[in-house]
Structure 1
Amino acid sequence: MKKQIDFQIPIKQLADRYPDFVEIMVKLGFTKIQVPGMLNSVGRFVSLEKGCKAMNIDPAKVKATFIAHGYEVINND
């Protein structure tokens, strides 16, 4: 099964689906994802697109990083 990152679905779903997702996110600067309870609360309704805006992280950098880790990236317009 191809690993796929969809910028429109909640971060929690991606974290549950892919074991390396959280580690990649932390390296990109999404450090709040490590705060206890954050992923299970806010992560249930915040998409990667919204997370990029909230954390002021370039979506193009996020896309490139996930592609470099073997992911297909969709819905990141």
Structure 2
Amino acid sequence: MGKVIDLSKTVYEICTEDPGIIDIMKELGFEGITNPGMLNTAGRFMTLPKGAVMKKLSMEKIKDVFQSKGYQIRE
């Protein structure tokens, strides 16, 4: 089926399922994601759409980057 990112899941869940996502998120500006403490606390309730709002990033840009890396987006 390929790599899929479910936007309804928390950042913790998607990063646990596919640790490679951490590097992509860091590239997008989510530097805190590389800190295991941050991933284990805020990541447990934060979703990518919520994080995009906090970081003032466009969801379209985030989707484009993940799709360019071979991910399918599930909303």
Q: Could you tell me the TM-score, scaled by structure 1's length?
A: 0.89
Instruction: Give the CA deviation at 1:56.
Output: 0.9
Give the ranges of 4+ consecutive aligned residues of structure 1 lying more than 3 Å apart after TM superposition.
none
CA distance in 1, matches of 2:19, 2:51: 19
Cα RMSD for the two superposed structures: 1.1
CA distance in 2, matches of 1:67, 1:57: 16
Instruction: Give the CA deviation at 1:74.
Output: 1.6
Pairing 1:1-77 to 2, within 5 Å after superposition: 1-75=1-75
Could you list the per-position Cα deviations for residues 23-58 of structure 1 after superposition, in whole angstroms to 9, with x for gaps in the alignment? 000000111212340000110111111111111111
| Residue identity opposite 1:70 in structure 2 | G
SS at match of 1:57: coil
Instruction: Point out where structure 1 has 5 or more consecutive residues left out of the alignment.
Output: none
SS at match of 2:73: strand
